[in-house]
Amino acid sequence: MLEVKEIHTHYGQSHILQGISLTVKPGQVLAVLGRNGVGKTTLVHSLVSFVKPTGGRIHFRGGDITGRPTHQIIRQGLTLVPQGRRVFRSLSVLENLTVPYRCLSPAPNKSWDIGTAFQVFPHLEIRKNQRAGNLSGGEQQMLAMARALVSRPQMVLFDEPSEGLAPMVVKEISKVIKGLADQGLAVLLIEQNFNMALNTAHEVLVMSRGQIVHRSSPQDLAKNNDIKSRYLGM
Ligand SMILES: Nc1ncnc2c1ncn2[C@@H]1O[C@H](COP(=O)(O)OP(=O)(O)O)[C@@H](O)[C@H]1O
Ligand SMILES: [Mg+2]
């Protein structure tokens, strides 16, 4: 689904991503762990061209999407749930979900629409006419996820979806992400919540200073005290 080869990204003179390579298959959850400031958000932003990589290639569903306009990338089925659960606060829940609905891809993944979003997040249906700004943090995260899903993606990038949420909500979000993978979607999950990432992912990467310093199964990382103390402060 996604193949990233040796990408580099700069902000001006700062060389942030320093040769990141990874692949994600349909039905797979790949988690990326790493401390604050190592370049995790820069990685997902590079994938959807919020910032353009200065080197390397990104292939999605067989096509080269490196540096392509973001709206084209989303239309091809790659979507981002950004860090900090950005929703349109002054719009209702339903309006938040209908805005992306109007620009569906021509060959959509038919399995998602607003009805499905409400099945997965029944809470949102109850609150569909409320302003998004009045929802709890957990509900806003669910809305951000639902909004990405109604664009009918083949792959979703989640940037720290568990940040600042209660353990119960984190569990629910993990369950939804696993369910997406079970339906065949590919998922790249950026996390700082170690347990959530390990419980959700099939494979894990650890980033440090713009590079991948470890990749393994979640089970192997759980046992690797050296990597955990050196790169994750555990
Ligand atoms: N728009 C930007 N302009 C300049 N530097 C940035 C910008 N965004 C992030 N950075 C810097 O890039 C580095 C990586 O940031 P980021 O990708 O947000 O890390 P993470 O998501 O892992 O916390 C940090 O040193 C950060 O200060
Ligand atoms: Mg970040």
- The burial class, CB within 10 Å (0-12 / 13-18 / 19+), for 129 is exposed
Query: Which has the closest alpha carbon to 9: 41, 33, 32, 31?
Result: 41
Query: Which has the closest alpha carbon to 81: 47, 107, 33, 35?
Result: 47
Q: Rounded to two decimals, what is the model's pTM?
A: 0.94
Question: In terms of domains, do 123 and 145 share one?
Answer: yes
**Structural domain range at position 136:** 87-152
The C-alpha atoms of residue 207 and residue 189 are separated, in whole angstroms, by 13
Residue 120 confidence (pLDDT): 87
Residue 116 confidence (pLDDT): 83
Question: In terms of domains, do 58 and 32 share one?
Answer: yes
Question: In terms of domains, do 145 and 161 share one?
Answer: no
Nearest atom within ligand 1 for CA of residue 34? 22
Ligand 1 — pocket residues by CB below 6 A? 11, 14, 16, 34, 36-42
Check residues 99 and 170 and name the one with the higher pLDDT: 170
Question: In terms of domains, do 160 and 226 share one?
Answer: yes
Q: Read off the pLDDT of residues 8-23 as tens digits, 9 standing for 90 and up.
A: 999 999 999 999 999 9
Atom 1 in ligand 1: residue holding the nearest Cα: 11
Question: In terms of domains, do 16 and 53 share one?
Answer: yes
- The burial class, CB within 10 Å (0-12 / 13-18 / 19+), for 192 is middle
The owner of tokens 């899903």 is 149
Is residue 188 within 8 A of residue 154, CB to CB? The reply is no
Question: In terms of domains, do 21 and 118 share one?
Answer: no
Q: Read off the pLDDT of residues 205-225 as tens digits, 9 standing for 90 and up.
A: 999 999 999 999 999 999 999
The C-alpha atoms of residue 42 and residue 52 are separated, in whole angstroms, by 10
206, two tokens? 């650890």
The owner of tokens 């080869």 is 5
Q: Is residue 179 domain-resident?
A: no
Give residue 107's pLDDT band: very low, low, confident or very high (50, 70, 90).
very low
Residue 53 confidence (pLDDT): 97
CA of 134 to the centre of ligand 2 (A): 24
- How crowded is the C-beta side of 123, counted as CA atoms within 13 Å? 15
As for how many domains the chain has, the answer is 2
Is residue 77 within 8 A of residue 47, CB to CB? The reply is no
Atom 10 in ligand 1: residue holding the nearest Cα: 11
Q: How many CB atoms lie within 10 A of CB 169?
A: 18
For residue 159, is pLDDT > 70? yes
Question: In terms of domains, do 71 and 159 share one?
Answer: yes
Q: Read off the pLDDT of residues 171-191 as tens digits, 9 standing for 90 and up.
A: 999 999 999 999 999 999 999
* Strand intervals (E) in the chain: 2-11, 14-24, 29-33, 55-60, 63-64, 78-81, 155-159, 186-191, 203-208, 211-216
Question: In terms of domains, do 158 and 72 share one?
Answer: yes
Phi, psi of 12 (to 5 degrees): 55, -125
For residue 197, is pLDDT > 60? yes
